[in-house]
Amino acid sequence: MPINLGTINAYYNIQLKPHEVSAFLKEERGKESYEQPRNLEEQAISLIGRPLYEAFIRGHTVKQWGKDPRELPAEIIKRLPVRHSYNNRYFTDPYEGIPAEGYGNLFKRLHDHPNIQVQLNTDWLDERKNYWGTLPILYTGAVDQFFDHKYGRLEWRSIELERQVLDRPDYQGCSVMNYAEVDVPYTRIHEFKHFHPEKAPIDKTVIYKEYSKIIGESSEPYYPVNTPKTLSFSNDTKPMPISWTACGLVGDWEGTVISTWTIP
């Protein structure tokens, strides 16, 4: 991802120029058009046509969400970038980067700051009464649990990461690659050494295979499944006691946006 000129040329075995992409995709979309896409599948086909959808979107969606794409809302796929050039960056920010010394050192220094305290083995939901009204709170946990499931339970997905150390200098040639085939159990592979091409090469590499899972008893909720119930939960205003001052809820999980509530 994203779908770009390189993707289109390689998949169709053609040699389009950037100025030819619009007409080509218009022709592909015209083979199966939807004026008012009702679900993710119809929206994706309306963006890139069925062949690219079947090759790169459908299988990954089934694995990621555990749902047929026709059961998911069209809004999920609307943020998919489609490039008419060889630009393969997901975002269009003018600058992108990672900490020069890695995220480990960044968080270690944050942890060592005298104004920051970390409490382990602590359930926020058990301790929140001790903090309401005493300081600003930014909550990033499961939003339905925040309300003690008063407004119902959302359907969540979790992930599992499988670490492998391989006796080869390079496994896949890039930092993250999606594996869209339904018969491949993982959704993507991370190979972090490619974030640091400036470092001296070594003869080994570390990869993490990412699996999307349903929530189990010991699973951590990562993504609420974007269903009409989730969207209704997100868009509805939830009343909070006046004592819950300066509290914000934030989240943007894989296209599922949970609104921010701020209590002045």
Residue ranges covered by each domain of the chain: 5-79, 111-155+225-258, 159-214
Rounded mean pLDDT of the chain? 84
**Tens of pLDDT, residues 138-158:** 777 888 888 888 878 888 889
**pLDDT value at residue 200:** 83
d(C-alpha 105, C-alpha 97), whole Å: 15
Positive or negative: CA dihedral 123, 129, 130, 132: positive
Tokens of 67: 């749902």
Residue reference for tokens 């008012």: 36
**Tens of pLDDT, residues 227-257:** 777 766 666 655 555 444 455 555 554 444 4
**Tens of pLDDT, residues 205-235:** 999 999 999 887 677 888 888 777 776 666 6
**pLDDT value at residue 124:** 83
**pLDDT value at residue 262:** 44
Q: Which of 39, 37, 19 is nearest to 29 (CA)?
A: 37
Q: Own/partner pairs for 43-47, CB < 8 Å, 24+ apart?
A: 43/74, 43/75, 43/77, 43/78, 44/69, 44/77, 44/80, 47/77, 47/80, 47/82
The model scores a pTM over 0.85: no
Angle, to 10 degrees, between the axis of helix 5-12 and the axis of helix 21-30?
60
